Structure 1
């Protein structure tokens, strides 16, 4: 079940939190029940709300799709390797979307060597391909994965700005 963060900093009806220049929202999921689709829906609804906020960013179809894909891949990994509670934090700061997912699993993810013949286990490769940054941190309980995605499109509908990959 999705629970949205409510604070006294101007929470909107859709669960977004308005701070000057920043829109943030959070949701909690029980990945034992496989709420991957609900996590993708939360991303879609959050970005729609961010666009409607005063001075909100334009969110292209590419950026929306990339954000939903990243959350889907991260949530799938939680279901496979750390089923149980999962926290999803989204934050729009200027033209960047931050996605942070916490789970209770202690094993840090790692990308496998590229192998086009391998069936499956390409999730982290996909995440790395569409994000401008990727960070994983061990926490006292579990781990936290944070990625950033450009909301601005450049030429040919690619994300504007550089990617470290």
Structure 2
């Protein structure tokens, strides 16, 4: 039986992006090794990518620190990032000629759910990544949050 588990960290500088990715990797390895949770190679890459993009955006567009929380919930990892800006992220439409600003487009493509909402102070962005793949290698159960 899967138990609820989570980890959180505060990030305040540009060098923290690598530390955030490392936290995600360590969290998923702990789930696999100590909790017996199936974590596909795709899920490991997707969670690290989502963490990198969301923490990068928080550090780039919001003053002050950001809070990253990773949580196991019903076969998924919920990646949540809080920052001090109330401006909600904007996912631009696909444009192969645009250079840059594809981060949220990619995050939404690899996630099973994505949402952003304002908090009394700042905003919270949440992305949900399934940990197991279907037999064809596609991420299982793609729903919106």
* Cα contact 2:55–2:68 (8 A) shared by 1: no
Q: Deviations over 1:94-145 (max 9, x none)?
A: 3111111001111100111221100000011001000001111101111000
Find the partner of 1:65 among 45, 50, 69: 45
Q: Number of paired residues? A: 143
Residue 80 of structure 1 and its aligned partner are, at CA, apart by 1.7
Matches within 5 A, 1:1-165: 21-31=3-13, 33-54=14-35, 56-164=36-144
Larger Rg: 1
Residue 162 of structure 1 and its aligned partner are, at CA, apart by 2.6
Q: Deviations over 1:38-89 (max 9, x none)?
A: 00000000111111224x3111110000000001111111122114201011
Q: Give 5+ residue unaligned stretches, structure 2.
A: none
Worse-superposed segment, 127-136 or 71-80: 71-80
Q: Deviations over 1:1-39 (max 9, x none)?
A: xxxxxxxxxxxxxxxxxxx721111111113x3411100
Worse-superposed segment, 79-88 or 124-133: 79-88
**C-alpha distance in 2, partners of 1:138/1:63?**
27
Which structure has the higher relative contact order (CA within 8 Å, separation 6+)? 2
Output the aligned Cα RMSD. Answer: 1.4
Per the normalisation by structure 1, the TM-score is: 0.81
* Cα contact 1:57–1:94 (8 A) shared by 2: no
Q: Give 5+ residue unaligned stretches, structure 1.
A: 1-19
